[in-house]
Amino acid sequence: DVLVCSTGVIGQQINIGAIEAGMARLCEGISKDGNVSAREAIMTTDTKYKEVAVETMIGGKKVTVGTMAKGSGMIHINMGTMLGFITTDCAISPAMLQAALSESVERTYNCVSVDGDTSTNDTLIALANGLAGNKMISSKNADWKAFVEALDAVNTEMAKKIAGDGEGATHLIECNVCGAKNDEVARNLAKSIISSSLVKAAFFGKDANWGRILCAMGYSGELFTQSGTSVFFDSGAGEIEVFHKGVPLDFDEPKAKEILGETEVRIRVELEDGKGKGTAWGCDLTYDYVKINGDYRT
């Protein structure tokens, strides 16, 4: 079977002749190290290749889950212009593999936004060959949960790599929401925050503009209690609270700027509405993003 995936300029036809001409050479070059060439061949505006793998024990057998992906622009909730390829040697039925993938995607790839645009093409494929020799997973038992945990690990790391390598990006932004009514509400709030163009622009300027975060939460469609809402920023340079239980704080602006100057920065929103928690990932919006997309075809 051949699974066809593509991205590129919308409406531009693929040169099938070039693909056909290279098929024989590609088949001859298949090897255990072929991932190195593949991870680079699928890159478009990506500046870094994206690849990760984990090992775990399932039913007394070592199981490996690995993935490679591409994606830097037109990345938004529902994956956008992302191509992802997951392989595992786990023995798992097609139905249980699909269930695991669908569940994991909601917590990972569907919680990423680079620019708010989704494209006409995106693909995520999971392949399992069963060579690990574990007992076939055919129900949502303990082994299935262990597999989902491994799948979540690689997908979470890949989601962060995609967000951090957004077109023109200088910051990876992680948003954690806790204390929401439930996990779905928390994820939706986090996704709304990292999808906001104004929040992204603020991070580019190292501006601790908590008002834009509250604004994005407000138009998310989810209910939360403002008087129980607190907002923090943190990174390798420290942590600072800027909004406490519905009240703006007179915080140290230079310290906040230092914290937001790190490559990886985090927003933490604490609510008092329940035990729900969720995470989403994004990046800043920069001049280079406009340059890249302003002359994408020309």
Lowest mean pLDDT among 76-85, 204-213, 222-231: 76-85
Q: Give the pLDDT confidence score for residue 298 in this predicted structure.
A: 61
pLDDT tens, residue by residue, 35-53: 888 898 888 889 999 999 9
Q: Which of 291, 221, 295, 231 is nearest to 260 (CA)?
A: 231
Q: Give the pLDDT confidence score for residue 104 in this predicted structure.
A: 97
Q: Is 263 a catalytic residue?
A: no
Q: What are phi and psi of 34, to 5 degrees?
A: -65, -20
**Domains of the chain and any CATH numbers:** 32-164 (3.60.70.12), 172-294 (3.10.20.340)
Q: Give the pLDDT confidence score for residue 3 in this predicted structure.
A: 86
pTM of the model: 0.91
* Catalytic residue selected from 7, 45, 67, 81: 81
63 beta partners: 56
Report, as an integer, the average pLDDT of 244-252: 98
Q: Give the pLDDT confidence score for residue 50 in this predicted structure.
A: 94
Q: Give the pLDDT confidence score for residue 103 in this predicted structure.
A: 96
Helices first, then strands: H and E counts in the chain: 9, 11
Beta strand residue intervals within the chain, DSSP E: 50-58, 61-70, 83-88, 112-113, 123-128, 172-180, 230-235, 238-244, 247-248, 264-270, 276-283
